[in-house]
Amino acid sequence: MMKSLLDWIDHRTGIRQLTKSALFENIPGGSRWRYVWGSTLTFTIFVQFVTGVFLWMGYSASSGDAWESVNYIQNEMIGGWLLRGIHHWTAQFMPVLLLLHLMQVVIDGAYKAPREVNYWFGVLLLLLVLALSLTGYLLPWDQKGFWATKVATNLINLVPFIGPEMQKLVIGGTEYGHHTLTRFFALHAGVLPGMLVLLIVGHIYLFRRHGITPAEPVAKRDAYFWPDQVFKDTVACLAVMVAVLGFVLWVHGAHLGSPADPSEPFSAARPDWYFLFLFQFLKLPFFGEGNEVWGAIYIPGMAVGLICLMPFIGRWKLGHVFNIGIIFVFLGGAGALTYLAKQEDVAGPNSARYLKAVLDDARDGLRVTALAMARGIESTALSLLKDDPKTQGARLFAQHCASCHRYGGHDGLAVELAKAGTLDELGNRTGLTSRFFSGDAVHPDWLARKSGTQDEWQTVRSLLQAKAEGPFDVIASAKPEEAPEAPDLKGFATRQWIRDLLDPDKFISPRYFGGTAHKDGDMYKKFLNRKVRKYDAAERKMLDAIAVALSAQAKLPSQAAVDQAGAALIRQGIKYLQDDIGCIDCHAFGEPDPDAVGPDLTGYGSRQWTIDFVKNPEHKKFYPENNDRMPAFGVKKILTDKEVGLIADWLRVDYFEPPAAGPGH
Amino acid sequence: MENQEENQIESFDSAAGESVGQAEEPVNPPEPGTPESAGERRGFIKFLCAFIGTLISAVPFGAGVWSYFDPLAKRNKGGGDGFVMVTTLDAIPADGSPAKFSVVADKVDAWNRFSNVSIGAVYLRLVDGVPKALHTVCPHLGCFVDYRPGNKDFFCPCHNSNFKLDGSLAVGVSPRRMDPLDIQIRNKTEVWVKFQNFQPGHSDRVPV
């Protein structure tokens, strides 16, 4: 039955003869492991086609949807992370396999007559795969892909005569946008794969036409392709798949940075690792001042040209040796440049910025993902991020407030790193090896302090030199250039923050008003210094109740539960504030007081109070007479109302937090 | 590295084939005729080739098919009782003829969550002063059913199903009457409709 069916099919298609000729290809010298690379490449291309088509079913190529759809695939679609991970990591292996294949062909002399044309097909295939990598890198529309691809497409500008026009055609206009994505996507999923298929068919046809070039010396007898070589090929493909899956499971799919933002710089924008050598090549001083075209186009073009000429050079015995030498020179050069690029990133003069940018991007990416999952995306993921106090409030604080204020001793943008248990651990994490390979590496310019203290942050470098013992808290943040001059606002309006404010020593420390004119004001001189210092235990208890009551005015989300539970104490505190301690001698509370000289305590630290203060600290509610240097951010239109609101929400920790840990894991 | 045994076997096998040379045309497979152990070994290798080959080829397909089935996974459509305010009583024609109203609500569309967008439409008409709601979509295959004022009936332009004003089938291929929707009057004049879609093509009314 089966046989007659096969006979029927064979009679009409010749399938048996085709299978026979496919499987019983003669392999001179028998099967060898070094012949597996072509098969692994065919396999990876097959994997990319399959996963690519399935990804296509979830991807949307427009600047408002690309990141959003990729994020959906990665974090919300069942199995999407696996699908995307396989596609991404297989792409990472392809350049390696291409290189191994090319090396085998050159070393074994398989490019020689009559196989030149097939060799050129191979070179074209190599370039096509690189073009697929380049176009695919942009499609997630994250910061990394956006800025790195921008650099790549700006290089097109350097092409002589037609550069600017070519660039416009490639990116679909003068600016990156919808048409950049639609064009890149059509190239990535249509044009380039189509060309790839044609070339592979040609490549394999020509390969079968001329047969395999045996690696010298041929020590063994011939064998057929099936099953020994097929077995070796299959095992090699299995190894590739296992390695790919290893990476996929390790990072749970593939990395997705924060959404592309033309207004936000990204110091860590780099091309994918196999292009880093070209990236570094362009940094060589020779290619400055109008010579970029040599580094970007002419010299790489000549290198490809030389690779294409190898079949002719290889006709002479010495020429073949030269070819092999050139391949190793290219390999060594590219390897060295790649190392230099990476080395400069993690240990060069700007490495602190680079490493910080990587952390910032990861943090923002996770944040948008969490917001998108919890709230959905009304317009774009970028606008979701731009409206998020947690990330944007910090940015605005760093830009507008951190020249005087601090936030936990830093500028508000520090990324908290894992604690370092000991000095040795801190030293190891600062080392070059760790910075190359580890996710929790520490840059020596970043800051650390003994765990659990509120000491001033010191650079990791100085801690290492001082040989102080750990454990240490570590943050990714450079030391602010100017000394703090105004209060540290981390924990603003919380009970502890106000308790510390009412401590005379802390009040005049740099953490509060030590750097301002207020250290000589009545609050310190007449109240804290003269009275509070002499308080007995009962009075201290009253003062503490006032701190609790005042903090309740802020209605901080983080204190909602304790404020509710401590209602009696809060009422008591308000009574002390009004009747016993005499706060209202200088401050207004509950109703406007034209004689007040200190800030109004009604709604102290609440959203509205904070916004009003930032907009105009000289308002009669706050410091009409004695404002010390703080600009009226609203009145002078330095910040918009929305921006002031973001800062206030961020200071008050009044923003959405996902209930569980991060998404995706 | 290949061991000695393998070398011997390969030499033996290929002895039947050609010597070193170009494989311009396919050659015939060597006849088995090998010692039993070698034959078993080759059989095992062939089995391994097929097994591993199938396995690794299945990985990308598996990942793809798995994610392709994502729409079948249950998703939480959000809270609420499903009722949406559509209009007020005053907006429905007093003469008992039906009028079409857009249903505007929040909508989750894959990664987007839109607020206040059209998600569909309903026909409302008054029966003795009480509003009745019908889904505007034909239960046959989901075309938008027109109201024909002249004939005072509903008419599906795709397959010519005709429905009476109460939604029952007059003539046509539709497997069931037009889908009635639950309705509530809130705050005296607000008309709230429990808007939902039903599977087309079946005689039973099953929510999507």
- Residue by residue, what is the 3-state secondary structure of A198-219? HHHHHHHHHHHHHCCCCCCCCC
Quote the CA–CA distance of A611 and A633 in Å, as a whole number: 10
CB A428 within 8 A of CB A434: yes
CB A549 within 8 A of CB A570: yes
Same domain, B59 and B108: no
CB A588 within 8 A of CB A596: yes
**Is residue B120 in a domain?**
yes
Cβ distance of B48 and A80 shorter than 8 Å: no
Cβ distance of A86 and B113 shorter than 8 Å: no
- From first CA to last CA, the distance across chain B in angstroms is 61
List of chain A residues whose C-beta atoms are within 8 Å of the C-beta of residue B17: 26, 222-224
Nearest chain B CA: its distance from A49 CA (Å): 9
Residue-range definition of the domain harbouring residue B127: 83-194
**Is residue B4 in a domain?**
no
**Is residue B89 in a domain?**
yes
Confidence of residue A660 (pLDDT cuts 50, 70, 90): low
Confidence of residue A554 (pLDDT cuts 50, 70, 90): very high
Same domain, B87 and B183: yes
Q: What is the pLDDT of residues A320-358, one digit of tens each?
A: 999 999 999 999 999 999 999 999 999 999 999 999 999
CB A464 within 8 A of CB A442: no
Chain A residue at shortest CA distance from B51 = A234
Query: Which residue of B19, B56, B66 is in closest CB contact with A79?
Result: B66
List of chain A residues whose C-beta atoms are within 8 Å of the C-beta of residue B4: none
| A584 contacts: CB under 8 Å, gap ≥ 6 | A577, A578, A593, A596
Interface test with A, best of B25, B52, B56, B113 (most A CBs within 10 A): B56
Same domain, A566 and A611: yes
Nearest chain A CA: its distance from B193 CA (Å): 24
Domain count for chain B: 2
Residue-level pLDDT at B74:
65
CB neighbourhood size of A57 (10 A): 13
Cβ distance of A80 and B57 shorter than 8 Å: no
**Is residue B34 in a domain?**
yes
**Is residue B55 in a domain?**
yes
List of chain A residues whose C-beta atoms are within 8 Å of the C-beta of residue B49: 227, 230-231, 234
**Is residue A365 in a domain?**
no
Residue-level pLDDT at B3:
41
Cβ distance of A24 and B13 shorter than 8 Å: no
Cβ distance of A221 and B19 shorter than 8 Å: yes
How many contacts does A have with B, using Cβ atoms within 8 A?
152
Residue-range definition of the domain harbouring residue A403: 380-476
The β-bridge partners of A411 are A407
More confident residue, A215 or B85: B85
In the structure, how many helices (H) and strands (E) does chain A have?
29, 6
Same domain, A470 and A500: no
The residue among A300, A328, A347 that closes a domain is A347
Chain A residue at shortest CA distance from B64 = A54
Judge residue A7's burial from the number of C-beta atoms within 10 Å of its C-beta, 0-12 exposed, 13-18 middle, 19 or more buried. Answer: exposed
Same domain, A321 and A429: no
List of chain A residues whose C-beta atoms are within 8 Å of the C-beta of residue B113: 375-378
Tokens 């044309």 -> residue? A117
Cβ distance of B63 and A21 shorter than 8 Å: no
The answer on pLDDT for A459 being more than 70 is yes
Same domain, B118 and B156: yes
Nearest chain A CA: its distance from B106 CA (Å): 10
Query: Which residue of B10, B24, B25 is in closest CB contact with A30?
Result: B10
Same domain, A458 and A604: no
Residue-level pLDDT at B7:
40
Same domain, B123 and B61: no
Cβ distance of B45 and A228 shorter than 8 Å: yes
Same domain, A441 and A510: no
The answer on pLDDT for A370 being more than 50 is yes
Same domain, B51 and B116: no
Residue-level pLDDT at A469:
85
CB A106 within 8 A of CB A327: yes
Chain A residue at shortest CA distance from B54 = A234
Interface test with B, best of A20, A34, A46, A78 (most B CBs within 10 A): A78
Residue-level pLDDT at A665:
40
Same domain, A428 and A291: no
* SS3 (DSSP) at A241: helix
CB neighbourhood size of A270 (10 A): 19
The answer on pLDDT for A115 being more than 80 is yes
Same domain, A152 and A218: yes
Q: Is B75 on the interface with A (CB under 8 A)?
A: no
Mean pLDDT of A273-278: 94
Query: Which residue of B14, B52, B73 is in closest CB contact with A222?
Result: B14
Q: Is B53 on the interface with A (CB under 8 A)?
A: yes
Cβ distance of A224 and B17 shorter than 8 Å: yes
Cα dist from A570 to A35, A393, A520, A546, A562, whole Å: 80, 30, 30, 8, 10
Query: Burial letters for A376-413: b for 16+ Cβ neighbours within 10 Å, e otherwise?
Result: bbeebbbebbbbbbbbbbbbbbbebbbebbbbbbbbbb
Quote the CA–CA distance of A216 and A106 in Å, as a whole number: 12
Same domain, A339 and A389: no
Chain A residue at shortest CA distance from B13 = A223
Cβ distance of A376 and B112 shorter than 8 Å: yes
Q: Which of residues 23-42 of B touch A (CB under 8 A)?
A: 23-30, 42
Residue-level pLDDT at A452:
86
Chain B residue at shortest CA distance from A219 = B7
Mean pLDDT of A216-236: 87
Cβ distance of B52 and A235 shorter than 8 Å: yes
Same domain, B111 and B41: no
Cβ distance of A241 and B22 shorter than 8 Å: no
| A646 contacts: CB under 8 Å, gap ≥ 6 | A387, A389, A392, A393, A396
The residue among B40, B73, B106 that closes a domain is B73
The answer on pLDDT for A159 being more than 50 is yes
Percent of chain A with pLDDT over 90: 81
Confidence of residue A447 (pLDDT cuts 50, 70, 90): very high
Quote the CA–CA distance of A350 and A270 in Å, as a whole number: 14
Quote the CA–CA distance of A581 and A572 in Å, as a whole number: 12
Q: Is B72 on the interface with A (CB under 8 A)?
A: no
Most confident of A51-60, A315-324, B41-50: A51-60
User: What is the 3-class SS of A32-91, one letter each residue?
Assistant: CHHHCHHHHHHHHHHHHHHHHHHHHCCCCCCCCCHHHHHHHHHHCCCCHHHHHHHHHHHH
Q: Tabulate helix, strand, coil % of chain B (nearest 5).
A: 25, 30, 45
Q: What average pLDDT does chain A have?
A: 93
Quote the CA–CA distance of A372 and A491 in Å, as a whole number: 27
**Is residue A15 in a domain?**
no
Cβ distance of B20 and A230 shorter than 8 Å: no
Query: Which residue of A28, A80, A227 is in closest CB contact with B46?
Result: A227
The answer on pLDDT for A471 being more than 70 is yes
**Is residue A457 in a domain?**
yes
The pair phi, psi for residue A534, each rounded to 5°, is -100, 5
The ranges of chain B with pLDDT < 50 are 1-34
Mean pLDDT of A192-205: 95
List of chain A residues whose C-beta atoms are within 8 Å of the C-beta of residue B114: 378
Chain B residue at shortest CA distance from A375 = B113
**Is residue A440 in a domain?**
yes
Cβ distance of A73 and B67 shorter than 8 Å: yes
Same domain, A322 and A439: no
Residue-level pLDDT at A392:
96
What does the DSSP assignment read for B128-181? Answer: TTEEEEEESB-TTT-PBPEEETTTTEEE-TTT--EE-TTS-EEESS-SSPPPEE
Q: Report the candidate in B195, B159, B160, B200 with the shortest Cα–Cα distance to residue B180.
A: B195
Residue-level pLDDT at A438:
84
Residue-level pLDDT at A215:
80
Confidence of residue A596 (pLDDT cuts 50, 70, 90): confident
Confidence of residue A662 (pLDDT cuts 50, 70, 90): very low
Same domain, B141 and B114: yes
Determine which of A330-339, A628-637, A649-658, B7-16 has the lowest per-residue pLDDT on average: B7-16
The residue among A428, A447, A476 that closes a domain is A476
Same domain, B43 and B121: no
* SS3 (DSSP) at B118: strand
The residue among B48, B73, B98 that closes a domain is B73
Cβ distance of B22 and A210 shorter than 8 Å: yes
Nearest chain B CA: its distance from A195 CA (Å): 22
What CATH number does residue B168 fall under? 2.102.10.10
The residue among A293, A327, A347 that closes a domain is A347
Chain A residue at shortest CA distance from B48 = A231
List of chain B residues whose C-beta atoms are within 8 Å of the C-beta of residue A83: 63-64, 66-67
Cβ distance of A24 and B63 shorter than 8 Å: no
Same domain, B91 and B64: no
**Is residue A14 in a domain?**
no
Cβ distance of A47 and B59 shorter than 8 Å: yes
Quote the CA–CA distance of A244 and A83 in Å, as a whole number: 11
**Is residue B17 in a domain?**
no
Domain count for chain A: 3
List of chain A residues whose C-beta atoms are within 8 Å of the C-beta of residue B70: 58, 77-80
CB A617 within 8 A of CB A623: yes
**Is residue B25 in a domain?**
no
Residue-level pLDDT at B18:
36
**Is residue A217 in a domain?**
yes
**Is residue B3 in a domain?**
no
Q: Report the candidate in B179, B145, B149 with the shortest Cα–Cα distance to residue B161.
A: B145
Residue-level pLDDT at B32:
44
**Is residue A407 in a domain?**
yes
List of chain A residues whose C-beta atoms are within 8 Å of the C-beta of residue B67: 54, 57-58, 73, 77-80, 82-83
Interface test with A, best of B10, B67, B106 (most A CBs within 10 A): B67
Query: Burial letters for B113-131: b for 16+ Cβ neighbours within 10 Å, e otherwise?
Result: ebeeeebbbbbbbbeeeeb
Cβ distance of A228 and B18 shorter than 8 Å: no
Same domain, B68 and B114: no
Angle in degrees, CA B93, B96, B99, rounded to 5: 50
**Is residue A359 in a domain?**
no
Nearest chain B CA: its distance from A4 CA (Å): 22
Nearest chain A CA: its distance from B122 CA (Å): 25
Quote the CA–CA distance of A315 and A116 in Å, as a whole number: 11
Same domain, B58 and B149: no
As given in the structure block, the two tokens for residue A171 are 């990116």
Mean pLDDT of A361-369: 95
Q: Which of residues 105-164 of B touch A (CB under 8 A)?
A: 108, 110-115
Same domain, B189 and B121: yes
Residue-level pLDDT at B17:
37
Same domain, A195 and A293: yes
The answer on pLDDT for A453 being more than 90 is no
Same domain, A271 and A137: yes
Same domain, A90 and A127: yes
Cα dist from B146 to A500, B142, B197, B205, whole Å: 72, 12, 17, 21
